[in-house]
Amino acid sequence: MENRLQLTIDGRTVWVAPGTTVAAAWVDLHAPAIRRSVAGQPRGPLCGMGICYECRATVDGHPHTRTCQTPCRDGMTITTDR
Amino acid sequence: MREVRCDVLVVGAGPAGLAAAAAAAEGGQSVIVLDENPHLGGQIWRPQAAEANQPSRSVSPRAAAAPPSAHAHRRAHAWHQRAQKRGVIFETGMTLFDAPRTDHLLAVDAAGQASAFSAQQVILATGAAERFLPFPGWTLPGVMGVGGLQAMVKGGMAVRGKRILLAGTGPLLLAVAAFLLDHGAHVVGIAEQASRAAVRRFGTSLWRHPNKLVQAARLFTRLRAVPLLHDAWPTQAEGFGRVEQVRVAAGDRCQEFDVDLLACAFGLVPRTELARLMGCATQSHIDGEIVAVDRWQRTTVATVWCAGEPTGIGGVDLAVAEGLVAGYAASGAFKRAGRAARRRDRARAFAERLDRAYALRPALRALPTDATVVCRCEDVTWQAIRAQPTIRQAKLQTRCGMGPCQGRICGPALAFLTRATPAAPGTATQTTTRPTAATTSSHAAGPSTGWTGDRVRPPLVPVAVNVLIGAGQAPLANHQPSPAPSRHQEISL
């Protein structure tokens, strides 16, 4: 697809427009839950600006990446602990 | 580790930081601007994802990171151009994590590479964050900040056809509601905690600010079909794995909404952690702790300046004016700083009216129940936290505020929940009738400002151990909160 970025999110392939954040790509693909809290509760993005750490996931092997602060790049692999 | 030197280091590339950088460069200083976001413009001038398809309009040959203006909001782009003409260097995606000296700051980029920045003057323009108040269900996925949701939509999240309730306080609710309508959302309602009378008083004071009046009129026209509740706040969010229903107390009634998303925020909180880490004094304010500055925006540390929301929430016009004052003053151009200061003082009058109209009402302190999680990072409940006498004890005994966000979310909430002001009569919410912290005996002798200002320690954000080692120090052991005066500390006025 022209002018689209290809990502792999938890094994699924998705295409997004340039400028999309990883958090936005994830929420569009699934429910807003991205991870589990220390007590096992489902959590999703809250602040959208990189301070709450609720949207963190493993991006290209980097754990605890704040996905709301991470623009999508072509070929990116995202793994969540949903 | 990469080491960089400049005359003036600006932290934050929002309106205040951009204006400060341009002003300092026009005053003849070499300037570097750092921002943790991937884009310029801060939260208010955040670019829309679609704009990212535009080809790069200007690329700084000296820029170390990706060209920041390629993805810039129109006004951010204009300031970027003005600053760039004077050779200002922008580094985005750079998160400050320590300031071992007031002229030496450490940052880490998205790839985990650390850099050290040495500067004679530092201008802090670290902005604000939303204040979240805990209520049952607020941790469910789909409950987001008002500005947080807007940021997500600008980052490409689709809201077309989604049912969205907005709750909290301030004109931001209206602005974001209109934004969401423009993106095809179904805005099912707006719950404003302030009374109709307070909002009306504020509205009639807008004749002093004709441009704001025009903005307000446009918003109300756009939102005429959206139910707008006053004296209203969410008391419970429910759903299976995500928010599905929200209960709202509105006056003495209770309303239920079926939703896909709940956006809520109860005003903005100044981000002061870097200023406090650098030893700058703060003072209590209706917005929380704010950085104390003199008329030139200089903090109590002589080489550190502060502009924008950290000195008190005031919006974009005030932030730009304060940025200009700080930038000119830091470069010794006090005549130009003085002209900008007059513009700043006019903008501040508007901010003060806004603060009064949308002050949080004491009844909101009764929102969390015993079982409500207040610290989201460590899943600590209100029951566990309110049994502690101080924020320090709460941290030590419950790990409240000790997770990755370092208390940035629960801290402002607790400062409000523990503030000892008498509850207004007849404003009990429908969630619960248990006593609030303000009336719990262990808090009776506490400060009226609530739990604020526990010491800030490095690292300010979670960073990998190898980054700390690479930074050539052990910040947790050796950090000096009150650094010895550097040779740059005395500058003449």
CA B188 to CA B185: how far, in whole Å? 9
Please check whether residue B492 lies inside any domain of the structure. Answer: no
Average pLDDT of span B252-280: 96
Cβ-defined contact of B132 to A62 (cutoff 8 Å): no
Q: Residue B50's pLDDT is what?
A: 58
Q: Which residues of A touch B49 (CB under 8 A)?
A: 17-21, 24
Going through B93-192 in order, the beta strands assigned E by DSSP cover: 94-101, 104-109, 114-124, 128-130, 143-144, 163-169, 186-192
- Give the model's confidence band at B325: pLDDT under 50 very low, under 70 low, under 90 confident, else very high: very high
Average pLDDT over residues B332-343: 95
Number of domains observed in the structure of chain B: 3
Decide if B353 contacts A29 (C-beta within 8 A). Answer: no
Q: Which residues in A lie closer than 8 A to residue B139 (C-beta atoms)? A: 37, 41, 43
B105 and B209 both lie in a single domain: no
b/e sequence B364-384, b meaning 16+ C-beta within 10 Å:
bbbbbbeebbbbbbbbbbbeb
Residue A56: give its domain's CATH number: 3.10.20.30
Q: Do A18 and B36 touch (CB under 8 A)?
A: no
Q: Is B122 within a domain? A: yes
Confidence band, pLDDT 50/70/90 cuts, at residue B455: confident
Exposure class string for B328-347: b at 16+ Cβ within 10 A, else e? bbbbbbeebbeebbebbeeb
| Total beta-carbon pairs less than 8 A apart between chain A and chain B | 144
Residues B341 and B295 in one domain: yes
Confidence of residue B60 (pLDDT cuts 50, 70, 90): very low
Interface test with A, best of B37, B157, B179 (most A CBs within 10 A): B157
Is B373 within 8 Å of A41 when comparing Cβ atoms? yes
Cα gap B100→B33, rounded to integer Å: 19
Q: Are B328 and B340 in contact (CB under 8 A)?
A: yes
Q: Count of CB atoms within 10 A of residue B432's CB?
A: 16
**pLDDT at site B177:** 97
Could you give the CA distance from residue B470 to residue B1 in angstroms, rounded to a whole number? Answer: 6
- Host domain of residue A36: 5-79
Q: Look up the ipTM and state it.
A: 0.96
- Contact A46/B132, CB-based, under 8 Å? yes
Same domain, B44 and B114: yes
Angle between helices B171-182 and B210-222 (to 10 degrees): 50
Last residue of a domain, one of B266, B299, B316: B266
Question: Within this chain, do residues B67 and B121 fall inside the same structural domain, yes or no?
Answer: yes
Q: Contact A44/B408, CB-based, under 8 Å?
A: no
Nearest CA in chain A to B380: A39
The answer to whether residues A34 and A82 touch, using CB atoms and an 8 Å cutoff, is yes
Mean pLDDT of B116-126: 97
* Residue predicted with more confidence, B82 or B467: B82
The lowest-confidence range among A29-33, B33-37, B203-207, B290-294 is: A29-33
Does position B357 have pLDDT exceeding 60, yes or no? yes
For residue B71, what pLDDT band results from cuts at 50, 70 and 90? low
Rounded CA gap, A22 and A66, in Å?
9
The residues near B131 (Cβ < 8 Å, ≥ 6 apart) are B265, B266, B267, B268, B269, B288, B412, B413, B416
B334 and B284 in a common domain: yes
Do residues B328 and B395 both lie within one domain? no
pLDDT at A25 over 70: yes
Q: Chain B 52-111, CB below 8 Å of chain A: which residues?
A: 52-53, 71, 93, 110-111
Q: Please give the structure tokens belonging to residue B128.
A: 């604000």
Q: State chain A's mean pLDDT as an integer.
A: 91
How far is residue B302's CA from residue B329's CA, in Å, rounded to a whole number?
A: 12
Nearest CB among A17, A19, A38 relative to B378 is that of: A38
Considering only the beta carbons, identify the residue of A31, A49, A70 that sits closest to B141.
Answer: A31
CB contact under 8 A, B376 and A25: no
Mean pLDDT of B120-135: 97
Partner-chain contact A47 B148, CB within 8 Å = yes
The CATH number that applies at residue B138 is 3.50.50.60
Q: What angle do CA B164, B43, B110 make, to 5 degrees?
A: 110
Q: Is the pLDDT of residue B14 over 80?
A: yes
Give the residue from chain B lying closest to A19, CA to CA: B49
pLDDT at B472: 65
For residues B248-274, average pLDDT: 95
For residue B22, how many C-alpha atoms fall within 13 Å in the half-sphere facing its CB?
Answer: 22
Q: Which of B225, B240, B266 is the last residue of a domain?
A: B266
B222-231: average pLDDT? 96
* Residue-number span of the structural domain to which B417 is assigned: 366-444
Same domain (yes/no): B18, B96: yes
Band of pLDDT at residue B484, cut at 50, 70 and 90: very low
By percentage, how much of chain B surpasses pLDDT 70? Answer: 85
Confidence of residue B465 (pLDDT cuts 50, 70, 90): confident
Whether pLDDT at A59 is above 80: yes
Q: Clarify whether residues B147 and B251 are in a common domain.
A: yes
Co-location of B378 and B305 in the same domain: no
Residue B50 and residue A27: Cβ atoms within 8 Å? Answer: no
Per-residue pLDDT tens over the stretch B381-439 = 999 999 999 989 999 999 999 999 999 999 999 999 998 654 444 333 333 333 333 33
Residue A20 predicted with pLDDT over 50 = yes
How much is the pLDDT for B473?
52
**Nearest CA-CA partner of B332 in B4, B8, B6:** B8
In a domain, B490, yes or no: no
Q: B318 with B172, same domain?
A: no
Q: Both B298 and B435 in a single domain?
A: no
Share of chain B above pLDDT 90, in %: 70
B49 touches chain A (CB under 8 A): yes
Residue B303 scores a pLDDT above 90: yes
For position B452, what pLDDT does the model report?
Answer: 75
Q: Is B242 on the interface with A (CB under 8 A)?
A: yes
In A1-82, beta strands by DSSP E? 5-9, 12-16, 35-36, 42-43, 56-59, 62-66, 76-79
Whose CA is closest to B18, among B48, B39, B3, B49?
Answer: B39
B449 lies in some domain: no
Least-confidence region, from A36-40, B422-426, B477-481: B477-481
**Count of domains forming chain A:** 1
pLDDT at B454 over 70: yes
Interface residues of chain A, partner chain B, Cβ below 8 Å: 3, 16-21, 23-25, 27-28, 31-34, 37-39, 41-54, 56, 62, 64-65, 68-71
pLDDT at position B63 is: 34
Instruction: Report the residue of chain A nearest B140, measured CA to CA.
Output: A43
Cβ-defined contact of B144 to A52 (cutoff 8 Å): no
Whether the per-residue pLDDT at B262 is higher than 90: the answer is yes
Over range B161-172, report the average pLDDT. 96
| Interface check B51 vs A, CB under 8 A | yes
Q: What is the pLDDT of residue B445?
A: 33
| Distance in Å, alpha carbon of B66 to nearest chain A alpha carbon | 12
Position B73 scores a pLDDT of: 86
- Rounded mean pLDDT of B210-231? 92
Which residue, among A9, A53, A59, A66, would best test binding to B if mutated, counting the most B CBs under 10 Å from its CB? A53
Distance CA B249, CA A62 (A): 43
pLDDT at B161 over 80: yes
Q: Among A47, A54, A66, A76, which would you mutate to test the B interface (most chain B Cβ atoms within 10 Å of its Cβ)? A: A47
- Residue A24 and residue B376: Cβ atoms within 8 Å? no
Q: Mean pLDDT over all residues of chain B?
A: 86
CB B48 within 8 A of CB B154: yes
Partners of residue A34 in chain B, C-beta under 8 Å = 141
Per-residue pLDDT at A65: 93
Nearest CA in chain A to B71: A19
Residue B105 has pLDDT above 90, yes or no: yes
Query: Does B444 score more than 50 pLDDT?
Result: no
